[in-house]
Chain A
Amino acid sequence: MVNATRGLLISCDIPMAQFIISMNNSKPSNQKFIIHVLDDTHLFVQPHATEMIRIAIAEFREANTYEKPA
């Protein structure tokens, strides 16, 4: 029988996928959000994870930059 799951497809580059996977691994088991790792650049996650992932990526980006004080 065919099985259908509702969720969110994430397509991104390899480093970003790894970043999201490591984010998933750091969560306690009841908060894990990745349903399937499809391949290197595609992940299938729970539908409510959108905002959380976006915020985490923005934080990551910010941590990597330095602004010269005015």
Chain B
Amino acid sequence: MPQVKIIAKNFIDMVASLPAVKLDMLYANPFICEAILRSLPPLAKKYVLQMMYIDAPIPAKSLEEWVLPDGLSKHRVAIDRLIQLRVLSETVDRKKETSYEMNKKFQINLQKQLIHGGILPREPMASSSVILPSSEELEIYALEQWEHFLLHLISSNQSEKLTNFSSSMMKVFQRGLLSQRDKEASRLTEYGFQFLLMETNAQLWYIIREYIANAEERGVDPANIISFLLELSFHETGQAYNINTLNEVQLNTIKDLSDLGLVKLQQGRKESWFLPTKLATTLSVSLSDTATRKQGYVVVETNFKMYAYSTSKLHCEIMRLFARIEYELPNLIVGAINKESLYNAFDNGITSDQIVSFLQQNAHPRVAEKVPTVPENVTDQIRLWESDLNRVEMAPAQFYDEFPSKDLFEAVCDFAREYGALLWDDSKKMQLVVKGELHNEMREFLRRQKQ
């Protein structure tokens, strides 16, 4: 099974990793150009704006003159990033002088964007023809949809509502999160557990990444999906957009997206339309740093009792990962954090820091204002229990003794220390322990000393 590492990087990194041809295709869309511009580090942003109306290649030397000497490292980062995204192309002429030229398509599109402002390929529908849900309703809808999806993901039999995703699509998402053996019921893997404790944005990003990566297998060009998703992030939250304006690929994509809660599909008498939710519009913003605070629901008391004011089954499942659920009331889940439940979690590869940060991030508004949000004795105890598991450290090693002279012993000690491989030494008894992998070098060294 391929090990899928969960790294919540941002959208733009994914764009940057596309092959050159695809990237050039993406830049045909002005919205992508703008999204790229927004994502750039500040200095790179400035360069793009500064070069926007320069048609000729600019020598690297004159670019360097724009920054003070101590800004050079940032300058390099900015230039590297721009080249990586193929916004700038580097050319070396016969005199070995480097010069940079801006991607023509990108340049023209940005110029247009600057002059005319962004015009979406579709206008929001007139509010007289549709009844718009309020923004709260839409947000609730988005979260509900997302929760359904997650619940379906971790235990397919538990959610009653069926999603549009085919079971093969679901398998793709589950790959890396669940381990599947033929006869046993599937179990969450280490990454799966970590996945559940992540923030919604990071989770969403992971799923979208898998979705895009899998696009090729479904016969869809990943670039199309990326451009559509970026475009979507420029739509206005809660506005209705007519579904007729979408092409076929986008139409298929939007159905999947509605299952994830990114858009809400609605049908009127004649037409149908979609409403982007907050999840969609924040997607292209660098995901890791927009920690939009959700309404929390967990209260942890100093006696290790945990109260979760939630009606969600998913929350209950998440708590079960590291706590012992004692009662499930219609709107309240009561649990206790104890040694056994935590050992279970640690066995599954969850770390104490993840648990603590989960409790802190999802704190009930009543306790969220307090400092600390989670009682210190509880967080300390969670960390202590974890360190209790790692009381004994073992390392393969070589033990050396019976040194003929103090000098030789000191020399060997220094030699091992240089490699950072000295684990333990006792100068009185003239004994030392060195990492196992250094044995061959040590033997060589000792042989040379003898001569």
Residues of A within 8 A of B (CB): 1-13, 16, 20, 35-36, 38-39, 42, 44, 47, 50, 53-54, 57, 61, 65, 67
Q: Is B340 an interface residue (CB 8 A)?
A: yes
Q: Are A4 and B399 in contact (CB under 8 A)?
A: yes
Collect the chain A residues with CB atoms within 8 Å of residue B340's CB: 65, 67
Q: Is B423 an interface residue (CB 8 A)?
A: yes
Query: How many cross-chain pairs have Cβ atoms below 8 Å apart between A and B?
Result: 83
A-B CB contact pairs (8 Å), 11 listed: A3-B401, A4-B443, A6-B399, A9-B394, A9-B395, A9-B396, A13-B391, A16-B392, A20-B392, A38-B433, A42-B433
CA distance in complex: A16, B391 (Å): 7
Select B431's contact among A38, A50, A61, beta carbons within 8 Å. A38
Q: Is B424 an interface residue (CB 8 A)?
A: yes
CA distance in complex: A61, B343 (Å): 11
Chain B positions 174 through 207: 1 when the CB is less than 8 Å from some CB of chain A, otherwise 0: 0000000000000000000000000000000000
Collect the chain B residues with CB atoms within 8 Å of residue A9's CB: 394-397, 399, 423-424, 433
A22 nearest CB across to chain B (Å): 14
Residue from A4, A20, A35, A65 having most chain B Cβ neighbours under 10 A = A4
A42 nearest CB across to chain B (Å): 5
Chain B: which residue is nearest A65 at the CB level?
A: B339
Q: Given A20-B392, A36-B399, 4 other A-B contacts at CB below 8 A? A: A5-B399, A6-B399, A12-B391, A54-B392
Collect the chain B residues with CB atoms within 8 Å of residue A1's CB: 402, 404
Collect the chain B residues with CB atoms within 8 Å of residue A36's CB: 399, 431
Select A8's contact among B338, B391, B394, B443, beta carbons within 8 Å. B394
CA distance in complex: A9, B398 (Å): 8
Collect the chain A residues with CB atoms within 8 Å of residue B442's CB: 4
B410 nearest CB across to chain A (Å): 13
Chain B positions 398 through 412: 1 when the CB is less than 8 Å from some CB of chain A, otherwise 0: 111111100010001
Chain B: which residue is nearest A45 at the CB level?
A: B394
Select B397's contact among A16, A39, A44, A50, beta carbons within 8 Å. A44
Q: Is B436 an interface residue (CB 8 A)?
A: yes
CA distance in complex: A61, B333 (Å): 30
Q: Is B446 an interface residue (CB 8 A)?
A: yes
CA distance in complex: A24, B64 (Å): 68
Q: Is B65 an interface residue (CB 8 A)?
A: no
CA distance in complex: A32, B338 (Å): 36
- Which 9 interchain pairs have the tightest Cβ spacing? A9-B397, A12-B392, A5-B399, A3-B402, A11-B393, A67-B340, A9-B433, A9-B395, A16-B391
CA distance in complex: A3, B392 (Å): 27
Chain B: which residue is nearest A6 at the CB level?
A: B398
Collect the chain B residues with CB atoms within 8 Å of residue A35's CB: 399
CA distance in complex: A2, B399 (Å): 10
Collect the chain B residues with CB atoms within 8 Å of residue A12's CB: 391-393
Collect the chain A residues with CB atoms within 8 Å of residue B404's CB: 1-2
CA distance in complex: A7, B402 (Å): 17
Q: Are A53 and B443 in contact (CB under 8 A)?
A: no
Collect the chain B residues with CB atoms within 8 Å of residue A7's CB: 396-399
Q: Are B443 and A57 in contact (CB under 8 A)?
A: no
B287 nearest CB across to chain A (Å): 39
CA distance in complex: A4, B340 (Å): 42
Q: Are B394 and A10 in contact (CB under 8 A)?
A: yes
Q: Are A5 and B393 in contact (CB under 8 A)?
A: no
B25 nearest CB across to chain A (Å): 54
Chain A: which residue is nearest B435 at the CB level?
A: A9
Q: Are B400 and A3 in contact (CB under 8 A)?
A: yes
Collect the chain B residues with CB atoms within 8 Å of residue A53's CB: 392, 394
Q: Is B426 an interface residue (CB 8 A)?
A: yes
Collect the chain A residues with CB atoms within 8 Å of residue B436's CB: 6
Collect the chain B residues with CB atoms within 8 Å of residue A20's CB: 392
Q: Is B171 an interface residue (CB 8 A)?
A: no
Select B439's contact among A4, A8, A13, beta carbons within 8 Å. A4
